[in-house]
């Protein structure tokens, strides 16, 4: 009976790895669905090779976190506990993290 467990385990890892790769493939030219099918059919190892060789999508969007002060309206790329400009004026203004979508 033990080999059924091993076989089941291999299938779970196989499908799991294919699914994980397809999630990564979302940002690649190859695409999510195609990468999932290819790694399922040709082992996740081939899927990984395809993922690595596939170029990034041209319209790839990524988020950049920045911190905005609601008192003076200034934005910072680094995290500060309080706004350094407002702190000079004696105001403790907490910076709000925001996501900026870059193209």
Q: Which residues bind Zn ion (CB under 5 A)?
A: 69, 71-72, 83, 85-86, 93
Q: Which is nearer to Zn ion, 54 or 71 (CB)?
A: 71
* DSSP symbol at 101: E
The CB-of-102 to Zn ion minimum distance in angstroms stands at 23
Q: Which is nearer to Zn ion, 10 or 72 (CB)?
A: 72
20 Cβ contact partners less than 8 Å away, ≥ 6 residues apart: none
75 and 66 in contact (C-beta within 8 Å)?
yes
The CB-of-96 to Zn ion minimum distance in angstroms stands at 11
In whole angstroms, give the CA distance from residue 20 to residue 12.
12
The CB-of-99 to Zn ion minimum distance in angstroms stands at 19
Q: Which is nearer to Zn ion, 21 or 86 (CB)?
A: 86
The CB-of-64 to Zn ion minimum distance in angstroms stands at 20
Q: Which is nearer to Zn ion, 41 or 96 (CB)?
A: 96
The helix/strand/coil state of 42 is coil
Strand blocks (E) in the chain: 62-69, 75-76, 95-102
């Amino acid at each position: 009976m033990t080999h059924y467990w091993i076989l089941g385990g291999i299938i779970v890892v196989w499908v799991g790895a294919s699914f994980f790769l397809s999630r990564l493939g979302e940002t690649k030219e190859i695409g999510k669905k195609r990468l999932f099918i290819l790694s399922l059919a040709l082992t996740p190892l081939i899927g990984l090779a395809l993922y690595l060789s596939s170029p990034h999508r041209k319209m790839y969007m990524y988020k950049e976190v920045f911190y905005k002060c609601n008192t003076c309206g200034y934005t910072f790329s680094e995290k500060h506990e309080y706004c350094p400009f407002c702190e000079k004026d004696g105001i403790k203004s907490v910076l709000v993290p925001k996501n900026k979508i870059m193209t």
